[in-house]
Structure formats: C-alpha cells, structure tokens
Amino acid sequence: MQGTTIYDLHGRLLRDTFGESLVDQDAFLVFVLFHSHRVVLAEPILTDRPGIVEVAADTQRGVSESLASMWPKTDRRSDMYYWYYSWNGDWRGYEHADNLTDAERERLAVLKRKLEGHAFVAWFEPED
C-alpha cells in the first residue's frame, strides 16, 4: 500500500475519494468530520510516522489546507483561507456544526462511509 505523510493524509483521502467533484456544502460537512473525528488507519501507512495507526482530528487550518488541495490553483477554492474564513464566517463554524439538520447529518453519514471506503481507512472515530 502506497504511503503518505501525516501532513497530507486528509488531503490525500479527499483527492482519492472525491477528486474535484465535492460541492461546497459537502466540503463543509467533511470539514465537520475531519475536525471532530480521528482517523483509524487500516494499517501503518504514514511514511513520516512509522507504526502509527490513529491520527487525531485536524485543526481548522489543517482541514482548510486539505480541502484547498482538491482544486486547481485557478479555482478560488484552492486557497486554504477560502475554507477557513467561510467555515468561521458564512457557515458559522461550531454553531452550525453543533446544529446540523437531519438532512445534513444523513449526508455527512454518506460522505463518511465513502471516505471509510478508502484503502487507508479502517474507520473514523469521534474525539472526546
């Protein structure tokens, strides 16, 4: 299994799973997942962290960088600040994340299952 670094794990999962096909609303739901759940890896694949099979939930800036890595540089979404400021601004960050609609929770579950289908991932686990 080809490895990746801890710094690119979330971006790699996104690019491999969704390519450039993730719409912004789904991206914000993935933001919630990556920011609140640790990744339990199927096996140790991190080239810079041998033996590690759990990766903690990512920071807002880390998730923003991962999302930005999905789009070509000509797209405004390729700037991590687009995601960071949109999350904390229009999307209302934690306020929205803590009050997802039923439809958003269902969609988040679908996106989570897709990401758990990646060969690197065993599952996502909520952090305390």
Q: How many C-beta atoms lie closer than 10 Å to residue 74's C-beta?
A: 6
Spell out the per-residue pLDDT of the chain, length 128, in tens.
567 999 999 999 999 999 988 999 999 999 999 999 999 999 999 999 999 999 999 999 999 999 999 999 999 999 999 999 999 999 999 999 999 999 999 999 999 999 999 999 999 999 97
State the virtual CA torsion across 10, 31, 78, 21 in degrees, nearest 10: 90
Helix (H) or strand (E) holding 123: strand 121-126
Spatial CA neighbour of 31 closest among 5, 68, 3: 68
